[in-house]
Amino acid sequence: MRILLTNDDGVNARGLKLLESVARTLSDDIWIVAPTEEQSGAGHSLTLTQPVRLRRHGERRFSVTGTPTDAVMLALAHVMKDSPPDVILSGINRGANLAEDVTYSGTVSAAMEGALAGVRSIALSQAYSREGMGDTVPFAAAEAWAERVLAPLLEFETEPRTLININFPAMAPEDVRGVRVCRQGLRDYGRLRIVQRTDPRGYDYYWFGLGPMVETPGHLTDLEAIADGYVSVTPLHLDLTHEGSVEALHKRLAATSEDATAT
């Protein structure tokens, strides 16, 4: 099995090194194409207004001066065009990617790009608590559980244009309660916290804080799975059409269509 590894924390990130060690227990055909620098929050953006540079760091190891999407595009259309991957693994991100985070996340977006290209794609992220920040974020849960979760998923045939989002809870491996397949959650956007402060030169700046999660009956979401001490596994799809609104919009706009035809 040929596996492509990428991320949004950069080619030298601790999480990518951990993911490589996990991937090598599953295959000996590992390729790495990742951003040169951290691209957290880049979402599904790609670089259009400036050139993207590709640097080789060794056999099957490359960095890209762009976004995670750029990295996957270059990997599939250039670096690996004659030897495409069977699976793309993106991560292991420093920090969880839960609920609406998936729309901002470069980690998840790299997997989205793989899914769009028809490659089985999985995003992996390690949650952390306030006690572990920056370079001190503990990856112990991911290290202990990643292979156990990935092994069965690598043989799972996903539906077209879908991907899998995995998050590991912020706790010691022995305290993890298991794996829970769950829905994407939702935070209370109306309670988004914005902290305003002033820098030494007198200019205001702002920190964004996330709102509390919206609880669901049965704790069925990724937010709740992580809070309950489980590894969360969430299937995501890229068709953003809201089926429930299609017929209602047809009816709403029917008169407009008739007027245009009559004209």
8 A C-beta contact, residue 222 and residue 234: yes
- Determine the Cα–Cα distance for residues 198 and 50; give it in Å rounded to an integer: 34
Q: Is the peptide bond before 226 cis (omega within 30 degrees of 0)?
A: no
- Residue 93 annotated as lining a ligand binding site: yes
- Residue 232 annotated as lining a ligand binding site: no
The closest of 32, 253, 65, 233 to 149, measured between CA atoms, is 233
Kind plus residue range of the DSSP H or E element containing 62: strand 61-64
- Mark residue 10 as left, alpha or beta (left: phi above 0; alpha: psi -120 to 50; beta: remaining): left
Q: Which two tokens stand for residue 37?
A: 């620098």
Beta bridge partners of 12: none
How far from each other are the two terminal CA atoms of the chain, in whole angstroms? 59
- Determine the Cα–Cα distance for residues 41 and 60; give it in Å rounded to an integer: 26
Write down the residue that tokens 């880049």 correspond to: 42
Tell me the one-letter amino acid at 145: W
- Residue 28 annotated as lining a ligand binding site: no
Q: CA 39, 44, 45, 51 torsion: positive or negative?
A: positive
Write down the residue that tokens 């769009």 correspond to: 116
- Determine the Cα–Cα distance for residues 256 and 89; give it in Å rounded to an integer: 47
- Residue 101 annotated as lining a ligand binding site: no
The closest of 185, 191, 168, 189 to 99, measured between CA atoms, is 185
Annotated binding site: 8-9, 40, 93
Annotated binding site for a divalent metal cation: 8-9, 40, 93
